[in-house]
């Protein structure tokens, strides 16, 4: 069975994933319904193609406008095309849409962050 293992940093579950051939630490955000959100500076460095614009509600409850880009993420040893939202923040998020066919284990006391494909 294929497993993606993560770790905790400052009490947050982190996954190291490869986006466009670059290793990036993503905060596993169970409150984010999208696939991936990365800093706009990283979007520019990667030269991603913009495919649209979207609104989202931030963790603070504000309605934000952002650009949507497309890119490829290595997910269970396969290249998966994903929608990438940009942010002015300096962190990257992996959201629930990315994990919709997965089992997620987050156990901080055991320092365990694991993602497995369900089914």
What DSSP string describes 44-85?
A: HHHTPEEEEEEEEE-TTS-EEEEEEEEEEEEETTEEEEEEEE
Low-confidence ranges of the chain (pLDDT < 70): 1, 119
pLDDT of the residue at 60: 85
Whether the model pTM is above 0.95: no
Domain 3-117 coded CATH 2.40.70.10 = yes
Closest CA to 105 of 117, 97, 93, 94: 117
Q: Measured over all CA atoms, what is the biggest interatomic distance in the chain, rounded to whole angstroms?
A: 41
Instruction: Give residue limits of the domains in the chain.
Output: 3-117
């Amino acid at each position: 069975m294929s497993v993606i293992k993560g770790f905790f940093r400052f009490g947050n579950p982190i996954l190291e994933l490869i986006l466009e051939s670059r290793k990036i630490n993503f905060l596993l955000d169970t409150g984010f319904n999208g696939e991936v959100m990365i800093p706009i500076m990283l979007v520019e460095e990667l030269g991603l193609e913009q495919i649209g614009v979207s609104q989202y509600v931030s963790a603070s409850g504000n309605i934000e406008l952002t650009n949507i880009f497309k890119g490829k993420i290595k997910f269970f040893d396969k290249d998966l095309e994903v929608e990438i939202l940009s942010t002015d923040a300096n962190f990257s998020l992996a959201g629930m849409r990315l994990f919709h066919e997965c089992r997620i284990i987050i156990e901080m006391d055991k320092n365990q962050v694991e993602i497995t494909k369900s089914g």
